[in-house]
Structure 1
Amino acid sequence: MIKEFKEFIARGNVLELAVGLVMGSAFTAIVNSLVEHIITPIIVALTGQAEIADLYLEIGTAELKYGEFLQAVINFFLVALVLFFIIKFINTLTLRNKPEPEETPVEAPTVEELLEDIRDLLAKKDVE
């Protein structure tokens, strides 16, 4: 069982997944910091208010805190927008560095070759 576990852990897919998870966590921290410390202050400067989390609706004795939900949705869209632009920027950088693939012309069969193939198929059909 220990041997099987070592083989499972040593597989490339598991190690790549672990590295991807760690890198994703670190990248999430970067994007969250960008949104919280740069994007949100810009929104505060333009609108005067950045958080709507304090909004709620009282229904009897219960508080329906819809402001927190709206703030989470807004934060999600801000993070998604920042991620979109970062990935788009990275893709443009990597595409500039890639060499253009060389197009190899595909040689089409000649008319004679096609006619020979048809002749051979007809001959095979007649034999059967």
Structure 2
Amino acid sequence: MLKDFKAFIMRGNVVDMAVGVVIGASFGGIVKSLVDDVLMPPIGLLLGRVDFSNLYLILREGTAPGPYAALAEAKKAGAVTLNLGLFANTVINFIIVALAIFLVVRAVNRLQAMQKSKEPEAAPSTRECPFCASTISIKAVRCPQCTSALAE
């Protein structure tokens, strides 16, 4: 069983998938930092100094009555909140990751198309017998089906 597991793990597509998952996770961290630390602060400034990570609605107050200065304070008090800012950050993260994946897939498709156009087409290895219309080898001088002599 251990031998079979080792053979499964060492297959090329499993290793490729593992590398993709690790790179994807680290890329997700980079995109999260880009959104939280680079994109959202200027957008919040333009919208009147809104901190998107603290943009929430209180659905039910917690044990300590509000108002709460930050989302962490509301959660600590046990308030039920609708976290609109965190949702907006997550949506923007998704859009950026989807765009990046789209660009990578598009580039790979273009490279594959260029590779296919560079490959010469293989010469045909068969032809059709003019007498019986069966498929025969291109090197044949007599049809194996109808035994007709074929012209070169």
TM-score of the two chains, using structure 1 as the length reference: 0.61
Query: 1:79 Cα shift?
Result: 0.8
Separation in 1, partners of 2:96, 2:103: 11
Tell me which of 68, 82, 104 is aligned to 2:96: 82
Query: Structure 1, unaligned stretches of length 5 or more?
Result: 105-112, 118-128
The percentage of counterpart residues that share the same residue type is 30
Query: 1:72 Cα shift?
Result: 3.1
Q: Which residue of 1 aligns with 2:6?
A: 6
Correspondences of 1:68-107 after superposition (within 5 Å): 68=83, 70-90=84-104, 95=110, 99=114, 102=117
Residues 87 and 14 (structure 1), Cα distance of their counterparts in 2 relative to 1, 3 Å cut? closer
Separation in 2, partners of 1:24, 1:87: 10
- What is the number of equivalent residue pairs in this alignment? 104
Q: Which residue of 2 aligns with 1:55?
A: 57
TM-score of the two chains, using structure 2 as the length reference: 0.53
Answer yes or no: is the 8 Å Cα contact 1:31–1:82 preserved in 2: yes
User: How far does the alpha carbon of each residue in 1:47-104 deviate from its partner, in whole angstroms, 9 at most, with x for none?
Assistant: 11032444312269673211x2x223211211122224434555666648x73864x8
Separation in 1, partners of 2:30, 2:43: 19
